[in-house]
Structure 1
């Protein structure tokens, strides 16, 4: 069984509150189309975070449709399996699933209900896709552990899999033992689940959510072009694009070949040639000490050609004019957004006025705008609240988050049951 595994497309992302990335996604899908033509996989798997926000614009939704319809036209024999991530609206992903089956595509948005095990048997088949050469268990993002539910689905596959065909499972989760480089999480703040909670019986677990390509238990092989392991294998394909400037590592699509159930899993990383790379100036690792120095260096750098995103590294004692950002935008204007500016500066050194000032965090406006987790702000300002119990606060937020997700799922389930009851 051969699959192409990708995740975290984040279609519709507007980066740094200013730049649309549609041409970067178009560039990625052009390359993905070439790989599908060349490799002719049994299935293309997209493990969540298809969109950057839960209510994408009509333009973004059209792009999504155009991309995947064209992939189907290029490789009509290939199955396309797309699951919802935490950035997606589960119900919106699920809504058009019947129509997408006409294009050999399977969209799974709504996760199994928390009381699935109490329901009549048979619900498991909603998440099982049987292919000619194997099985795909397609699970969207789920809050918290649901080992019993997951195992119940895998057990159904085991019952049917009398020929010993490969079994692939998809999920959008953070599991223990991962490398969170590039995400901006502080160690211990990302909620993870143990890999054992994902059940047993799969040969390859195609994960999304973490943007760095990696195989759990084999982090030393993260950048290896080709590896082979004995099943089961748990892997993050990584995101399609560098979602932030901190993701300095290569991004890839995983080409996975599985010979048989409980057999050998061969993984080849297909490296994505990003349309725009992220650059930090000065590129030699030093820091600028004046605005003029930075602007002159930037103008010389962009004049060399190419295109990308630019971020500056300054010594903390550098005084910048209030209109520095506008000066950068004006200098890049002739390049028609081929060169783009990341206003989140990198500061080095210690203030000459008062070394303790370095402990007083100052946030850029762009940085605050991009914060989606209140714990990030609380943790980075903890020194101002000496009596605050961070563990209690974190636990409270997690309980509220879990309760809200549970209420949402219960509401969706009641709506489905109500719909069924009124059908003739």
Structure 2
């Protein structure tokens, strides 16, 4: 059996005001064509189809076109919701997508069988996928409660909760089938790109699971959530294919790919990465302030999207700097000041241990001078409102709490 594994489309992604959806659409078309040319039996999509809970019409078109292209090639697929997706929104189109061969698992329900999908393939073998959509701690507790799990002893213990679900998924594996597990989660030791924290991924210890928790009966674990392609476990074999284009400047320089997984029932899987060519390169340029024109005029950037870091001593006047850079590099999405290495050693420029308000004051001062009192008060009011909202959501139960998240 030949299975194509991909993840983290993030259709609808806007980077510094620049819509990346056309590039993502092109990448999905490339993946659908690869699925056909490689004669795969199924495609697995491990979450984050969309970048936001309320995607644009163009983002929805990119995703639905992808699944329609797979249908035109007669290739079934299984997809799960990620943390950027609206589980409820995807659940509303689950049956509709089923008509085009997509088995979409968006939410945990009271039926544990709904998390395990059995797919007859044209190679004559059956693919069984234990598909678990992204679960926050609150969703995990509620889902386990629906399935009869005893949650009182581990309400705040994410790993124990995941053990419960992973065990249920493994129970659905069948002898004589190709058995795979699909998750949108962070494994211990996974190496993130520089973009995950920017995109508010849950990467702290409270939201990770260990390789030892993965059921040994899974022949392949199809992971999503981390944007850098990598093997995350040997036994069972687990991989992140990574995002399909460079989504943020933290991913600059990364080569994007999908994974071709070849496997037979009861046999070890073999993974072959297939590179993707779609998507514009993201590059970060660092240049001293006194060399902006001389250096940038010589840059050969091609079609890359750029972030320009201009090194300037603290307190240097930089009026009109962004316009100077954009005249030379119209494809620059960001122009930022960066302290020189000598300045970074000064106590007044160190950031460790500073509060959010102190960091905001530092940010304002570097760009506009002294922070006005009314601006300081507005920031503190906004910060307190966010904190109150989070605390209230943490104390709630039921649909209202989920809506708050």
Corresponding residue number in structure 2 for 1:41: 40
Of residues 218, 223, 236 in structure 2, which corresponds to 1:207? 223
Per the alignment, in what secondary structure is the counterpart of residue 209 of structure 2? coil
Deviation, 1:84, is 0.5
Structure 2: distance between partners of 1:316 and 1:397: 39
Structure 2: distance between partners of 1:409 and 1:128: 28
Alpha carbons of structure 1 residues 346 and 193: separation in structure 2 relative to 1, 3 Å = farther
Corresponding residue number in structure 1 for 2:101: 104
On the 8 A contact 1:312/1:346 being kept in 2, the answer is no
Show CA shifts across 1:267-295 (max 9, x none): 1111122431122225xxxx4232xx224
Structure 2: distance between partners of 1:233 and 1:397: 40
Deviation, 1:37, is 1.5
Alpha carbons of structure 1 residues 348 and 168: separation in structure 2 relative to 1, 3 Å = farther
Alpha carbons of structure 1 residues 297 and 27: separation in structure 2 relative to 1, 3 Å = farther
Structure 1: distance between partners of 2:244 and 2:85: 16
Structure 2: distance between partners of 1:238 and 1:401: 31
Which structure 2 residues correspond to residues 22-421 of structure 1 after superposition, within 5 A? 22-73=21-72, 75-76=73-74, 78-112=75-109, 116=110, 123-132=111-120, 133=125, 134-143=127-136, 144=158, 145-157=161-173, 161-163=174-176, 165-183=177-195, 185=197, 189=204, 191-217=207-233, 232-247=236-251, 248-261=253-266, 263-282=267-286, 287-290=287-290, 293-301=291-299, 304=300, 306-317=302-313, 319=316, 321-333=318-330, 339-351=331-343, 355-360=346-351, 407-408=398-399
On the 8 A contact 1:281/1:311 being kept in 2, the answer is yes
Per the alignment, in what secondary structure is the counterpart of residue 289 of structure 2? coil
Show CA shifts across 1:158-200 (max 9, x none): xxx232x221111100111211242465998453122334444
Stretches of structure 2 lacking an aligned partner (at least 5 in a row): 137-157, 352-358, 365-386
Structure 1: distance between partners of 2:129 and 2:63: 22
TM-score (norm 2): 0.74
Alpha carbons of structure 1 residues 265 and 348: separation in structure 2 relative to 1, 3 Å = farther
Matching of residue 6 in structure 1 with residue 6 in structure 2: yes
Structure 2: distance between partners of 1:213 and 1:400: 37
Structure 2: distance between partners of 1:280 and 1:210: 21
Per the alignment, in what secondary structure is the counterpart of residue 23 of structure 1? helix
Structure 2: distance between partners of 1:93 and 1:26: 19
Structure 2: distance between partners of 1:180 and 1:2: 27
Show CA shifts across 1:116-151 (max 9, x none): 5xxxxxx22212221232211221101233322331
**Aligned residue-pair number:** 339
Deviation, 1:59, is 2.8
Per the alignment, in what secondary structure is the counterpart of residue 296 of structure 2? helix
Alpha carbons of structure 1 residues 241 and 39: separation in structure 2 relative to 1, 3 Å = same
Larger mean CA deviation between 175-184 and 85-94 belongs to 175-184
Stretches of structure 1 lacking an aligned partner (at least 5 in a row): 117-122, 219-230, 334-338, 366-393, 413-424
On the 8 A contact 1:4/1:255 being kept in 2, the answer is yes
Deviation, 1:217, is 4.0
On the 8 A contact 2:393/2:401 being kept in 1, the answer is no
Alpha carbons of structure 1 residues 344 and 67: separation in structure 2 relative to 1, 3 Å = farther
Structure 2: distance between partners of 1:364 and 1:241: 30
Structure 2: distance between partners of 1:409 and 1:173: 24
Alpha carbons of structure 1 residues 330 and 401: separation in structure 2 relative to 1, 3 Å = farther
Alpha carbons of structure 1 residues 324 and 19: separation in structure 2 relative to 1, 3 Å = same
Corresponding residue number in structure 2 for 1:419: none
Per the alignment, in what secondary structure is the counterpart of residue 246 of structure 1? helix
